[in-house]
Structure 1
Amino acid sequence: MDLRLVAYFVAVVDHGGVTKAARALYLAQPSLSLAIRSLERQLGAQLFDRSGRGLTLTTDGRAFVGPARQILADIEAAKRRVHAVRDLVTGRLEIAVLSALSADPLPRLTSALHRRHPGILVTVRDPGSSSGILSQVRQGEAELGLTDFPVKSDMVRTRELWEEEIVLVLPPDLAATLPDPVPLTAIAGVPLVLESSQAGGRAAIDPAIDGILGQAGAFVAVECAHRQAIWDLVTHGAGATFLPRRIAETELRDVVVRSTSPPVRRTVRLVFRPGPLSPAATAFLDVAAEMSRDRLS
């Protein structure tokens, strides 16, 4: 059904005839009359009685007035919702995030997004691994993915945001026995408190560190899925852990922060499928790009 014809029908009803309706619609009267007849043919019903002077609604016409008004109201409501999403008054963004990035930079990125567009609902998914993030983005379960592992796939695009240093965070008594910076080879003798993934395995940190942990003599004292608990365990002397320098220096107290030798750095990346993104995802990418420029300036 041509919605334009439905609007013409309602205009004729509201203005009490074709002449006034045509004037209000800036149409020629014969054109409007032809449009009403076209609508009647589409519906297979006569909407107006033309036997007397002017037009009067038939039984079918009276029955169609209510549904016609509802159709036009629904269309206007749909337009308002589309415009709201387009203008970022509202919207929804599904983002898959590696757990190591959920403490930082996800909160800063999301806060910056909400300061600009408070109506956007951000839903955070934790697939448990970098491969899980790639899978969710490829399958459309999440529109964006936030990871710190290289992504090799022709089915997604990658935007590198920034690099940050991964440091060793230790209780003071453990730090007293180690040089500064700490050689990666010396980590094998340090009791460690490490994050475990949702999949039940240890969360990956860095290939160089993972290689050291795989050697004989590596001492993993605690594996824990709760990040805050890991931080508390370190501050209470249970062992050392690896964290981005920014988190180590701002979130933990009474600990010693040491660089490693060679230094360990991670690259924060956003991944997304090729093609147009939703306005909410585009806004998130814009916020991330600005934050990346600020870090480099």
Structure 2
Amino acid sequence: MLSGSVTQAAMALRTSQPTVSRELKDFEQSLGFQLFTRKGRSLVPTEAAISLHGEVRRSFIGLEEIGRTAEAIRANASSHIKIVCMPAYSTTLLPPLCRDFLRSNDSIRLSISALGNSVLANGISAQHYDLCIIEADLGFAGWTSTSIHAGEQVCIAPKGHPLTRRQVLTPADFEGVDFIYFSAEDMYRRKLDNVFREHGVTRRLRMEVATAASVCSLVSLGVGVSIINPISALHCLDQGVEMRRLSFSIPYTVRLHKNQSTRTPRALDAFAESCIEAVANMQRQVQQRLDGPAAILHAV
């Protein structure tokens, strides 16, 4: 599958070409179907071979994970928390949270998988993870959920954009403005569309993307403005982007889903508590940035 020929496979395995040919023939006979077809000197995998190769790779990944776990146990890192999250959190919420958590928990190791909703759901239903951090509720048995209020959705715009002259933006302010949309499947996209529809406001659709990171990059390049979650907005403020409040409320919620069958319940509870604190801290930072000089003057 990797080398494309018997000769190259033999060299990689440090054996002879006849040995590889014989083993391959015996393997095909035991399986009952052909794995490769010849094309000149090359071997082209059949669809059956490609499917089988996927299963074999997953098995090897499982064996590698066993090896990593054994190595971690030998190094006294016996608690392993497997986290799955939406892509936005893997680059915003989780990096500083994991850094701070690991500094005070030397015997715990973490792994993060950032996945789309469909793949994520399959992994959760198969109990592959200890903690799931997403926006949506889960309907799977064996998981406990905690909802964390993370503030309100906010507008982000390129520095110097006309909308940044206002501290609070109304729906009417977005009339005819170049706007970057999330995909139609996004739960907050639907809420936003309803708000603007109720106010008779038409935004100018410039791009439609799937992730908050893409929205932030496009806004920083001046393609348009958008309305996103406060966690991602806070993260992109150093990219030539400004943040503004909305006159209408769209609360944003982070949901933690804990696997009740986890083998490390105490470590998982500790990390979940750290996550709740991190979201609360980010919410305070967003409020401070939105208040700006007024907040400093009030504090003085």
TM-score range, shorter chain: 0.5 to 0.7
Deviation at 1:221, TM superposition (A): 1.1
* Matched residue, 1:163: 150
- 1:193 correspondence with 2:176: no
Q: Which residue number corresponds to residue 54 of structure 1?
A: none
Shift of 1:124: 2.1
Q: Which residues of 2 match residues 92-107 of structure 1 at below 5 A? A: 92-107=80-95
Structure 1 residues 268 and 102 mapped into 2: Cα distance closer, same or farther (>3 Å)? same
Q: Per-residue CA shift, 1:196-216, capped at 9, x if unaligned?
A: 5xxxx6644354214357899
In structure 2, the partner of 1:285 is: 272
Question: Partner of 1:274 in structure 2?
Answer: 260
Partner of 1:65: none
Opposite residue 209 of structure 1, the aligned amino acid is L
Say if 2:87 and 2:211, in contact at 8 Å, map to a contact too: no
- Contact map agreement 1:168 1:260 (CA 8 A) in 2: yes
Q: Which residue is 1:243 aligned to? A: 228
1:167-246 paired onto structure 2 within 5 Å = 167-171=154-158, 172-175=160-163, 180-184=167-171, 186-187=173-174, 189-195=176-182, 203-211=186-194, 217-224=202-209, 228-245=213-230
Alignment match, 1:72: none
Equivalent-residue separation in structure 1 for 2:173 and 2:142 (angstroms): 40
Structure 1 residues 230-253: Cα deviation after superposition (integer angstroms, max 9, x where no partner): 333212311012333354345324
Name which of structure 1's ranges 283-292 and 206-215 shifts more when overlaid on structure 2: 206-215
Aligned residues: 211
Instruction: Report the counterpart of residue 257 of structure 1 in structure 2.
Output: 243
Q: Check whether the contact 1:144–1:272 (CA below 8 A) recurs between aligned residues.
A: yes
C-alpha spacing 1:252/1:286, structure 2 compared with 1 (3 Å)? closer
Q: What one-letter code is carried by the residue in structure 2 that aligns with 1:142? A: Y
Q: Which residue identity does 1:173 align to in structure 2?
A: H
Partner of 2:15: none
The residue number in structure 2 matching 1:123 is 111
CA distance in 2 between partners of 1:189 and 1:90 (Å) = 56
CA contact (8 A) 2:149 2:253 kept: yes
- Using the TM superposition, give the Cα deviation of residue 168 of structure 1 relative to its aligned residue in structure 2, in angstroms: 0.5
Distance in 2, matches of 1:154 and 1:226, equals 28
Shift of 1:146: 0.1
Task: Compute the RMSD of aligned alpha carbons.
Answer: 3.9
* 1:140 partner SS: coil
- Percent of aligned positions with the same letter in both sequences? 18
Structure 1 pair 206–152 and aligned structure 2 pair: CA distance change class (3 A): farther
Give the match for residue 20 of structure 2.
Answer: none
Give distance in 2, aligned partners of 1:152 and 1:118.
34
Do the aligned residues in 2 keep the contact of 1:134 with 1:145 (CA within 8 Å)? no
String of CA shifts for 1:91-130, please: whole Å, max 9, x gaps: 432221112323332223222222123454433223312x
- 1:169 Cα deviation (Å)? 0.5
Other structure's SS at 1:141 match: coil
Structure 1: give runs of 5+ residues left out of the alignment.
1-80
What is the CA–CA distance in structure 2 between the aligned matches of 1:226 and 1:294, rounded to whole Å?
23
2:129 maps to amino acid: A
Aligned residue number for residue 149 of structure 1? 136
SS at match of 2:153: strand
Deviations 1:32-83 (Å, cap 9, x if unpaired)?
A: xxxxxxxxxxxxxxxxxxxxxxxxxxxxxxxxxxxxxxxxxxxxxxxxx699
* Distance in 1, Cα, partners of 2:154 & 2:248: 11
Larger radius of gyration: 1
- Counterpart of 2:90, as a letter, is S
**Residue 80 of structure 2 aligns to which amino acid in structure 1?**
R
Provide the TM-score with structure 1 as the length reference.
Answer: 0.56
